[in-house]
Amino acid sequence: MSKIYIFTGKGGVGKSSVSAAHALKSASMGQRTILVSTDMAHNLSDIFEIKGEKDIVNVLPNLDLYEIDPGYVMENEYPQIMEYVTKLMTGTGDMDLSELGMIPGTEELFSLLRIADLQESGKYDRIIVDCAPTGETLSLLKFPELLTWYMEKLFPIGKVGVRVISPVSKHVFKVEMPNKQAMNDIEKLFMKLIHLQELLKDREITSLRIVTTPEKMVVEETKRNYMYLNLYNFNVDGLYINRILPADMDNAFFDQWIRIQSEYIVAIRDTFGALPIYEIPWYDEELKGIDNIQRIVDDVLKEEEVFDQKIISDRECFTQTEDGYDLLVSIPGVEKQDVDLYQAATDVVIKVGNFKRNIPLPNVLRTYEVMGASFEDGKLTIRFGKGE
Ligand SMILES: Nc1ncnc2c1ncn2[C@@H]1O[C@H](COP(=O)(O)OP(=O)(O)OP(=O)(O)O)[C@@H](O)[C@H]1O
Ligand SMILES: [Mg+2]
């Protein structure tokens, strides 16, 4: 079964370098490895000093490189559906699109679907994903869930066949229904989206890794990123502190910086104590070319255990209680007063600052109500009961 490692972090912290180092390490262990970039501003081919290609290229024994062009994937594999989804997303219907929060470019989704295909193909032991900077990654990762949610609302798939409701929908939603071909594609896409969510949230398949640097703004964003990834129920099981100045520089200018960095390193260790933490030195040159990337491998990734997947936060689930069900959601690093919770039709909505997540209730819970909630140590427990 292929494992997926997704590297995220703020712009410029070293995601591409660190993910490339993992790819080198993995290939040298004899594992069939593919390094994938979902960042539209690809730079893996720069790092490996090769010409950029739209398709998969082999760069070393056991190591392939793939800079995904979602537009290309979309046009080649889902031509019908794109036209239709674009129409939906631009809001020609009566549905309240604001409910969805911001909808990022649908294009991004296709990179993820591509990764799901690679995973399913079984061609690789490890799929290492180099992401675009945080903001985009977050929308990328929450997109499958959002879109599944949206499709569930629009087409009650599972209750009525999609094709059956076609004439009704046109009337109710004032949305032009897709043609038959696109409809098949939508059903397929819907199933794929569900599968994709499963893959990304499966603790035995997907690891999220965060790259950071020891400076204030980056650490702050790292905390938010971690909270948000947890809110969306991804398992973050590794943190990389990059660009650490060597302690023995003997230069007054850098002494101050070394002190500042070490304060943040301590703070990071405190905050992320639950995670394996890797510390990467600041090198004396840019990390271009395999030899330079290999330096990270030699200094920090010596142990094969870096690929072990650890369960840091459990997979979210509803557990039965005496008078109903409990749902536990991990939201580390926030205060109780920052968490807002309400029930909207068939969803529970959790709001943390600007972040909002709709969790659709499973059918068995449709007749239940939120009876209460408690928040302790970064864990939100929502209690569902039958009410009066
Ligand atoms: N530990 C390090 N020592 C020296 N240079 C580094 C180190 N880590 C990264 N760099 C350099 O910093 C630059 C940014 O690194 P990289 O491209 O890996 O970051 P990124 O997080 O992928 O950036 P982006 O957000 O733009 O995709 C590159 O020129 C890289 O060679
Ligand atoms: Mg990058």
Cβ of 299 less than 6 Å from ligand 1: no
- Residue 245 and residue 184 share a domain: yes
What is the C-alpha separation between 250 and 141, in angstroms, rounded? 44
- Residue 76 and residue 41 share a domain: yes
**Tally of structural domains, the chain:** 2
CA 147, distance to chain mean position in Å, is 14
Give the ligand whose atoms come closest to the C-alpha of residue 300. 1
Do the beta carbons of residue 79 and residue 110 sit within 8 Å? no
What is the C-alpha separation between 1 and 126, in angstroms, rounded? 9
Task: Evaluate whether residue 313 is within a structural domain.
Answer: no
Atom of ligand 1 nearest to the CA of 18: 18
Task: Evaluate whether residue 173 is within a structural domain.
Answer: yes
To test the pocket of ligand 1, the residue of 67, 225, 287 to mutate (highest count of ligand atoms within 8 Å of its CB) is 287
What is the C-alpha separation between 362 and 382, in angstroms, rounded? 14
- Residue 172 and residue 105 share a domain: yes
CATH number of the domain within which 231 lies? 3.40.50.300
What is the C-alpha separation between 277 and 330, in angstroms, rounded? 20
Per-residue pLDDT for the chain (388 aa), expressed as one digit of tens each?
899 999 999 999 999 999 999 999 999 999 999 999 988 777 898 999 999 888 999 999 999 999 998 878 877 877 666 666 666 555 544 444 444 333 455 666 788 889 999 999 999 999 999 988 876 677 677 777 777 777 766 665 443 334 333 344 444 444 455 566 666 667 777 788 888 888 999 999 999 999 999 999 999 999 999 998 999 899 999 999 999 999 888 888 899 999 999 999 999 999 999 999 999 999 999 999 999 999 999 999 999 999 999 999 888 888 899 989 999 999 998 999 999 999 887 788 999 988 888 887 877 887 889 999 999 989 999 999 987 6
Residue 156, phi then psi, degrees to nearest 5: -70, 65
Regarding pTM above 0.75, the answer is: yes
- Residue 283 and residue 335 share a domain: no
Range of the domain at 29: 3-307
What is the C-alpha separation between 253 and 320, in angstroms, rounded? 60
- Residue 367 and residue 291 share a domain: no
- Residue 191 and residue 72 share a domain: yes
Helices (H), 233-380: 252-271, 290-300
- Measured in Å, residue 35 CA sits from the centre of ligand 2 at 12
- For the record, the structure tokens of 303 come out as 């142990």
Give the ligand whose atoms come closest to the C-alpha of residue 136. 1
CATH number of the domain within which 375 lies? 2.60.40.790
What is the C-alpha separation between 291 and 272, in angstroms, rounded? 31
- Residue 137 and residue 30 share a domain: yes
Q: What is the DSSP string of 54-116?
A: SS-EEEETTEEEEE--HHHHHHHH-HHHHHHHHHHHTT-SSS-GGGG-----THHHHHHHHHH
- Residue 337 and residue 259 share a domain: no
Q: What is the DSSP string of 285-302?
A: S---SHHHHHHHHHHH--
Secondary structure of the chain: what % helix, strand, coil (to 5)? 45, 25, 35
- Measured in Å, residue 65 CA sits from the centre of ligand 2 at 14
